[in-house]
Amino acid sequence: MRMLGRISRKPWMWSWTAAFVVWFATIMVTGGASTFDLSQAALTFAAFSIIVGIGQMFVITLGPGNIDLSVPSTMTLAGTLALKLMEVDNAMIVPGLVIAMITGVGVGVVNYALIKALRIPPIIATLSVSFIVQSAAIWTNRGLRIKPPSFLADFTTANTLGVPNVAIIALVISVFAWFLLEKTIYGRWISAVGQSMPAAKMAGIPVDGTRFVTYIFCAVLASLAGYLLACFSGGAALNMGSEYLLMSIAVVVLGGTAVAGGDSNVPGIWGASLFMFLVVSMLNTYGLGAGIRLIMTGLIIISVIMLAGGRAR
Amino acid sequence: MTGDTLTAIVEVADAKVSFGAVKALDGVTLAIMPGECVGVVGHNGAGKSTIVSVINGGLTPHQGNISSDGERLARYGIGVARARGVRCVFQELSLCPNLTVIENTRILHRHLGGFGWRKRARKVIERSLDLVFPGHGIESDRSVGELSIAERQMVEIAMAFSDAGVAPRLVILDEPTSSLDAGLAEQMLGYVRRFVDAGGSVIFISHILNEILTTASRIVVMKDGRIVADRRSIDWTEHSLVESMGSVAKGEANRRAVRDLAGAPVVVEQIGPGLPFRAKRGEVVGLAGLAGHGQTRMLMKLHAAETSDWLARREATVAFVAGDRRLNGVFELWSILKNFSIGSLGDLTNRGVVDVAAEMERATDWKRRIDIRTQDLANRILSLSGGNQQKVLFARALSTRAPVVLMDDPMRGVDVGTKQEVYEIIRQQAASGRTFVWYSTEMEEVCLCDRVYVFRDGAIVAELEGDAVTEGNILAVSFRGAAA
Amino acid sequence: MRLTYSAEAVRLAVPALSLTVLLAAVFWLQPRAMSYVGLNLLFNLAVPIALATIAQMLIMAVNDLDLSMGTFVSFVACVAATFLRDTPLLGTLILAGVVGVYAAIGIVIHLRNLPSIVVSLGMSFVWAGLAVLLLPAPGGQPPDWVRALMTAKPPFAPMAIIASIVIALVAHLLVMRSSLGVLIRGVGGNERSVERAGWSVLAARAAAYGLAGVFAVLAGIALVGLTTSADANIALRYTLLSIAGVILGGGEFIGGRVSPIGAVIGALTLTLAGSFLSFLRISPDWQIGAQGAILIIVLALRLLLARIEKREKAR
Amino acid sequence: AAMPVSALADTSGKKIALSNNYAGNSWRQAMLTSWEKVTGEAVKAGVVAAADAFTTAENQATEQAAQIQNMILQGYDAIVLNAASPTALNGAVKEACDAGITVVSFDGIVTEPCAWRIAVDFKEMGRSQVEYLSKKLPQGGNLLEIRGLAGVFVDDEISAGIHEGVKQFPQFKIAGSVHGDWAQDVAQKAVAGILPSLPEIAGVVTQGGDGYGAAQAIAAAKRPMPIIVMGNREDELKWWQQQKEANGYETMSVSIAPGVSTLAFWVAQQILDGKEVKKDLVVPFLRIDQDNLEQNLANTQAGGVANVEYAQEDAIKVIEAAK
Ligand SMILES: Nc1ncnc2c1ncn2[C@@H]1O[C@H](COP(=O)(O)OP(=O)(O)OP(=O)(O)O)[C@@H](O)[C@H]1O
Ligand SMILES: Nc1ncnc2c1ncn2[C@@H]1O[C@H](COP(=O)(O)OP(=O)(O)OP(=O)(O)O)[C@@H](O)[C@H]1O
Ligand SMILES: [Mg+2]
Ligand SMILES: [Mg+2]
């Protein structure tokens, strides 16, 4: 019982509970027959939100006002450039990955340069950058969908022991992120910067270095997600990241990370990402129209945050 | 009530307040009569700020009752207290920095509204500022954020004494002079005396015992959530106060031993307007002068020169102890442990991974060394009283291996006993070669330094050394400007 | 009133200057814009944006952020193009009701101490859903009086300019001069001190949200007045535009530092920036990117001017 | 006599602008490319003085309205318009007409009476899909409907057509409906989410740009492949061709050709030339069937959309046909 009490105080508990409830409600429609397929689909698609969500979480942890709105266009540009470079050639997989990563680093550097040198608030700076990056994506291949190399296409859509490969990648990244946050000095630094920049500075923390690395980390994860998504869905599309703008923010906050910064939560992102996928599936399954579906999604998000994030004053 | 006995403005009977396991108030009974100034002293965490919150209506005691003007009030709250003329200056500054002084006045006085309130509010606050701090020079349409910390404190004090319809009858001052220099503090104390003579009441909390002794008509000593002594102030001496608070007075033992540092190498240097700043190895250098004349800026410069915002130094060369701990001291979400260790993580990590055992060991050691009052280092930092939080910040800086420690008026709100312990640690560490640069608004601390730079208008105007470091000399230079 | 060299004045000088520079550039590129009709064409779509920006500013004044502004304005536009025209009474009731909902959101956020970003993110789905239910396909028509108001041709200055000035003045009086405005900004600056002075922070926050709701409703109505019909996605970009407008106008995300006149100027600047770009005739590939670049340039200008300002002050 | 020579003389000083509200998918990119190609030649040949393309940063009616207002200020003689909303731009379009500007809308058309409309019968596009399926699957079955972006005119029209078709052929039943936002990855995700709870699916009716995503999701779920109506994207056609070769898979593909922007350009040019043109013109949608698949695929750029570009004569033909 006390154990239960302790767990219910964990901020990630709520997103997991919500995901489970929605999952259960969905499989009930087919009397449980769809359990395996649904779970597999959920893991597959949640994986992409998890990868971008973790990057966004690092940025949000940096404190109020820190947010990266360039995530969608970074995904698009990275996917586009990588697929263009690889040209359906299996031998080019690694160079493709490298170019995607370089894209991420580049976007991260520009983002932070604007934030730091021009003192533009992150929300506006990253928005502006996202426009430029989107243009760059249009310019590079004018919206043509190039197919991924066959090995990558197979790999990203396949399962290992019934677990989708992309979910395994997401898991590896999550563990790495968790380790960074909880065990390393870098994790302490981000959390300190997120709680109070002046205090972090006076405690001798390299504030700019920490923020710089974090913005790059976020953009690199977005690039990786873009690379994987482009391979998974059979080609990079100019609008393929657009969904992940609100999604990346939603999974972070639903997952129990403090929007005010300083406190992050990796397991919560999993719960929230699964939830965000499953809730759409559930409402689709129940055959509800787009209007009702949107309203329900909104109300569920609010209910979850009220249960999870609510602290009576 | 009989006609000839005065009734208390506010009377708290047997109040108990606890935060979790901490008993902040453990049965306190206190009555404030019209026309008296009650001084409250006690160690950090004794419950002084808590009793203030109870009287102010901001905190409802879990047990006990409150009466005012002879009436027992079942539903006592901020509104009721204010209507009865209770005003409060809180330990932390509590104005809205984005609003102007006038607008802050509007917020404070709920009944000032209606058409043309700006004019009225301006009159109210300017009159009060002129009364309490004649010659203050604060423009009331500047926003509070632009004022210096001392000016903000002045505004806050003047605000509490201002009269806009409901006259102040009981003004509570919780460490009001912590950011004021001697001159301003004296102005304020003078006004408090006049206010009390005119029939008003004041509760005055301070760690500067001299202020209390000269201003209060009655002094109450608190210890661990209880009142342990309550006497007229003429019956107290500094010595007896300290004794009843539970710490041993050390008196003149405070004076530093004269040391010869002529041969020691210079470890920090900063050249700006006025005299150059230099500090030698093992030296305790004081920054003095009136509050807000560039001392903090000098510390920031020294800090910025020795740290990088982009890359972590392998060996930190400076450590910093913040005075304004809410702003640049504590990390509010963190435990005491993490707040302590953040300064020395470089030593406690192995290839970037934090060694949790070493971290705990070092924290436990320092908890013992400077007596941080908590059962568990995993508790949140905010569960500590103000003074104890300050001790954590001290421990954070002192536990590093940095050869230079910068201190920005670090003893704000630290109790006498703790101060003595910290002084001792500073002395020891200086002897073993660490350099301290110490800005303080308290003369007693400045006099502990080997050498003192006096600031005026953002520049160093004088350097005093050895026996020349006296209150008289410093004041003379601060007020006269360029001398020496 | 004494002119002080206050932070507020500095806050305003910067956006005003960037607007002037941009306007000069537009006139230079396209002299035809320098006329009654030209100015109206340049600025009339800025009117709803200015209203939405004021709404966002009110929310930012209490340290919150509204990510549902765009969908909410879209929803209001849908209501205005349907109910408000067909059954004015019911339409008015609905709009009053949603203003109430806004105030209620403020109350919930305060009572449960919720992050406003998440709640408004959730609400953005709700408003979008309601709008889709109301108008599954674009359509509707604004009430005639709205259309008449938005296309009026007053003497001397075009409607767009007059409306912007009126909005700025009303918002300035409300937010900067009135007691309620002081209280709302006070909550943003230091919630505790407002509470300690005996005010209800809950009421202040509810008022800020309610007022924001009112301005957002006006934005939606003004928008249909200009576009002549509504759809569920019509104003989605207002969320980010309104935030950018507040920032361009010298407002800040936290600390209750806002400037209503600046916010209106910010909204005008953003609208003008779009026109400036189309007059430049950039290659279609880079037109989107140029919008980002111009945002960066205008904000960099802000920094530059603030620097000059600081140097002046230091002297 | 409408000789091209005289047309050349009359419109050589005229400026035409393209107002486009979205550039974020392959269809729109193909549309812009066709525009650039055809109008570029026309400008070089001196048919018109300028033909500039403008795209808004976000797919928003308000932004496009501002764009049109700017075009009025810039003094264009005609505006060719792919509108974000059929009605929300009416205010701006009216202002343009009042300023003496010819407005020709296509694909996303506007209802303002002063503008010309080159429309595709989206309803029929939806209905014909069900009709095709009824021929392939006379016994009927369950359909999965993939819709576009909620709240957008085209989505509503095509979906209405599909539902009309289901009414006409009651052996079909729509077992599930998801929004794929005309994007392969969104469609893939939505289909994967609903699929586990659906019974066996006989056909998938789509709106274009979503067929390949649906095929991927269905293949991943290891379900029997239903007849997926495609939307002329190269990846869809290619997948279809592979399936056709492997197991004789049969379907059809239908969408509006992105090159319709060039038809709109020529119509605008003809109007400027003083031609009498009816306000409502209709272009057929581009349909690909089992037999002409290979041929169409060969003509489609890798990663692009099957396309048809129009010449001045085509426009004249369309105008004549409408009379
Ligand atoms: N909000 C709170 N939550 C938990 N504990 C608290 C809180 N406020 C006060 N305490 C505890 O109550 C006790 C009394 O605190 P209080 O602030 O009244 O001390 P104080 O006498 O004012 O000390 P100082 O001189 O340091 O200001 C302390 O042990 C403190 O840790
Ligand atoms: N204000 C307070 N007063 C007294 N006790 C407190 C207070 N806040 C927390 N505690 C106690 O401290 C313990 C740990 O608190 P909490 O869970 O907030 O810290 P934590 O999560 O371990 O810190 P961190 O996140 O820095 O690791 C709990 O037992 C809690 O009851
Ligand atoms: Mg205290
Ligand atoms: Mg204290």
Residue B481 predicted with pLDDT over 60: no
CATH number for the domain including C252? 1.10.3470
User: Within an 8 Å CB–CB cutoff, is residue B384 touching chain A?
Assistant: no
* Band (C145; pLDDT cuts 50, 70, 90): very high
Residues D63-87: tens digit of each pLDDT: 899 999 999 999 999 999 999 888 8
Closest in D181, D192, D302 to A41, CB measured: D192
Domains and CATH numbers, chain B: 10-245 (3.40.50.300), 252-478 (3.40.50.300)
**C-beta B378 within 6 A of ligand 2:** yes
Does D3 have pLDDT greater than 50?
Answer: no
The set of protein residues with a Cβ atom below 6 angstroms from ligand 1 is B 19, 22, 24, 42, 44-50, 91, 383-387, 413, 415
Is there a contact between C237 and D150 if contact means CB atoms under 8 Å apart? no
What is the CA(B412)–ligand 4 centre distance, in A? 7
- The string of DSSP letters for C181-243 reads HHHHHHHHH-HHHHHHTT--HHHHHHHHHHHHHHHHHHHHHHHHHHHSSB-TTTTTTHHHHHH
Q: What is the mean pLDDT of residues D187-209?
A: 90
Q: CA Rg, chain B, in Å?
A: 23
Query: For position D9, what pLDDT does the model report?
Result: 47
Interchain contact, B94 vs C186, CB within 8 Å: no
Q: Evaluate: CB of B307 within 6 angstroms of ligand 2.
A: no
Whether the CB of C153 is below 8 Å from some CB of chain B: the reply is no
- Residue A313 with chain B: CB contacts under 8 Å: none
Decide if pLDDT at C78 tops 80. yes
Range of the domain at C110: 2-314
Share of chain C above pLDDT 90, in %: 52
CA-based nearest residue in chain C for residue B104? C186
The Cβ of residue C17 has, within 10 Å, a number of other Cβ atoms equal to 15
pLDDT at A296: 84
Tokens describing residue C66: 């509204």
Rounded mean pLDDT of chain B?
86
Q: What is the mean pLDDT of residues B185-193?
A: 93
With a 6 Å cutoff on the Cβ, whether B135 touches ligand 2 is no
**Nearest residue by C-alpha to atom 16 in ligand 1:** B47
Mean pLDDT of D153-160: 88
pLDDT (average), residues C38-62: 93
Mutate to test the interface with A, among D59, D156, D189 (most CBs of A within 10 A): D189
In whole angstroms, give the CA distance from residue B449 to residue B452: 7
- Tell whether ipTM is more than 0.95: no
Residues 223-262 of A with CB under 8 A from C: 246, 249-250, 253-254, 258-260
Residue B203 backbone phi and psi in degrees, to 5: -105, 125
Q: Which of D55, D197, D200, D236 is best to mutate for the A interface (most A CBs within 10 A)?
A: D197
Give D184's contacts (C-beta < 8 A, 6+ positions apart): A145, A233, A234, A235, A237, A240, D209, D210, D212, D213, D216, D233, D235
pLDDT attached to residue A7:
59
CB of B18 shorter than 6 A to ligand 2: no
Among chain B residues, the shortest Cα distance to A197 is held by B328
Nearest residue in chain A measured CA to CA from B326: A199
Q: Is B383 in the pocket of ligand 2 (CB under 6 A)?
A: yes
Long-range contacts of B422-425 (CB under 8 A, 24+ apart): B422/B370, B422/B391, B422/B394, B423/B254, B423/B448, B425/B369, B425/B370, B425/B398
Q: Flag whether C touches B (3+ CB pairs, 8 A cutoff).
A: yes
Q: Is the CB of B379 under 6 A from ligand 2?
A: yes
Look at chain A and report how many structural domains it folds into: 1
Q: Which residues of A touch D307 (CB under 8 A)?
A: none
Q: What would the pLDDT profile of A239-274 be if each residue is shown by its tens digit? A: 888 889 888 988 888 888 877 777 888 999 999 999
pLDDT of residue D5 exceeding 70, the answer is no
Lookup result for tokens 């009476």: D113
pLDDT (0 to 100) of residue B207: 80
Pocket lining: B339 vs ligand 2, CB cutoff 6 Å? no
Please name which ligand lies nearest the alpha carbon of B53: 1
Q: What is the pLDDT of residue C84?
A: 92
Q: Could you read off the pLDDT of C214-242 as tens digits, one per residue?
A: 999 999 999 999 988 888 888 888 988 89
Q: Does the structure show a pLDDT above 60 at D6?
A: no
Q: What is the pLDDT of residue C7?
A: 60
pLDDT at C314: 55
Nearest-CA distance B313 → chain C (Å): 30
| Ligand closest to the CA atom of residue B245 | 1
Chains D and B touch (3+ CB pairs under 8 A): no
pLDDT at residue C270 is higher than 60 = yes
Q: Which of C2, C6, C182 sits opposite B106 (nearest CB)?
A: C182
Contact assignment for C234 to D89 by CB distance below 8 Å? no
With the most atoms of ligand 1 within 8 angstroms of its CB, the residue from B385, B414, B415 to mutate is B385
Paired tokens of D6: 């005289």
Measure in Å the smallest separation between the Cα of B170 and chain A Cα atoms.
28
- We report the CATH number of the domain holding residue A185 as 1.10.3470
Q: Which atom of ligand 2 is nearest to the CA of B334?
A: 26
Q: Name the residue among A256, A65, A281, A62 with its Cα closest to residue C118.
A: A256
Is the model's pLDDT at D2 over the cut of 60? no
For residues B226 and A288, give the distance between their C-alpha atoms in angstroms, rounded to a whole number. 64
Is any atom of ligand 2 closer than 6 Å to the C-beta of B352? no
Taking the C-alpha atoms of residue B374 and residue B416, their distance in angstroms, rounded to an integer, is 19
Binned at pLDDT 50, 70 and 90, residue B178 comes out as: confident
Contacts with C253 from chain A: Cβ below 8 Å: 64-65, 121, 123
Tell me the CA–centroid distance for residue A15 and ligand 2, in Å: 23
Which residues crowd ion ligand 4, with CB under 5 Å? B 386-387, 413
Q: Report yes or no: C253 at the A interface, CB cutoff 8 Å.
A: yes
Within a domain: A137? yes
pLDDT score at C4 = 44
CA distance B201 to B453: 39
Say if ligand 2 is within 6 A of residue B380 CB: yes
Candidate from B309, B310, B352 with C-beta closest to A186? B352
What is the H or E stretch that residue D239 is in? Answer: helix D234-247
pLDDT value at position A4?
A: 57
Chain A within 8 Å of B353 (Cβ-Cβ)? yes
Scanning every residue of chain A, which has its alpha carbon at the shortest distance from the alpha carbon of C294?
A128
pLDDT of res. B484: 35
C-alpha to C-alpha distance for B396 and A139, rounded to whole angstroms? 53
CB contact (8 A) between residue B354 and residue A186: no
Cβ-Cβ contacts under 8 Å, C287 against chain A: 135
Position A285: which residue type? T
Q: Can you tell me the mean pLDDT for D207-220?
A: 89
Could you tell me which residue, D253 or A289, shows the higher pLDDT?
Answer: D253
CA-to-CA distance for A292 and B46, rounded, in angstroms? Answer: 58
Token pair for residue A303?
């209910």
The answer to whether the CB atoms of A253 and C295 lie below 8 A apart is: no
DSSP for residue B416: H
Buried b / exposed e across C274-297, counting CB within 10 Å, b at 16+?
bbbbbbeebebbbbbbbbbbbbbb
Residue burial C252-271, b: 16+ Cβ < 10 Å; e: rest: bbbbbbbbbbbbbbbbbbbb
pLDDT at residue B249 in the model? 44
Is residue C187 very low, low, confident or very high in pLDDT (cuts 50, 70, 90)? very high
pLDDT tens-digit map of B323-373: 878 888 899 889 999 999 998 888 888 888 999 999 999 999 999 888 888
- What's the rounded Cα separation, in Å, for the pair B81 and B79? 5
* Mean pLDDT of the region D125-144: 92
Please tell me if the CB atom of residue B23 comes closer than 6 angstroms to any atom of ligand 2: no
State how far the Cα of A77 lies from the Cα of A100, in Å rounded to an integer: 8
Say which of A183, A185, A263 has its CB closest to residue B333: A263
Q: Is residue B211 over pLDDT 70?
A: yes
Number of domains into which chain C is organized: 1
Residue that the structure tokens 């160690």 belong to: B43
Phi, psi of B378 (to 5 degrees): -80, -5
Query: Cα separation of D51 and D36, whole Å?
Result: 8
Nearest CA to ligand 1 atom 1: B383
Q: What is the mean pLDDT of chain C?
A: 88
- Token reading at A282: 């559930």
**Euclidean distance between CA atoms A44 and B162, whole angstroms:** 66
Of D66, D89, D157, the CB nearest to C274: D66
Count CB atoms within 10 A of the CB of residue C201.
Answer: 17
| pLDDT-derived band at A107, boundaries 50, 70, 90 | very high
What range defines the domain where residue A230 resides? Answer: 10-309
Q: For the segment B74-125, what is each residue's pLDDT rounded down to a tens digit?
A: 888 888 888 889 999 987 778 999 999 999 999 988 888 788 899 999 999 9
Does C233 contact chain A (CB < 8 Å)? no
Whether residue C308 is predicted with pLDDT greater than 90 in this model: the reply is no
The answer to whether residue A159 scores a pLDDT higher than 70 is yes
Q: What is the mean pLDDT of residues B442-449?
A: 84
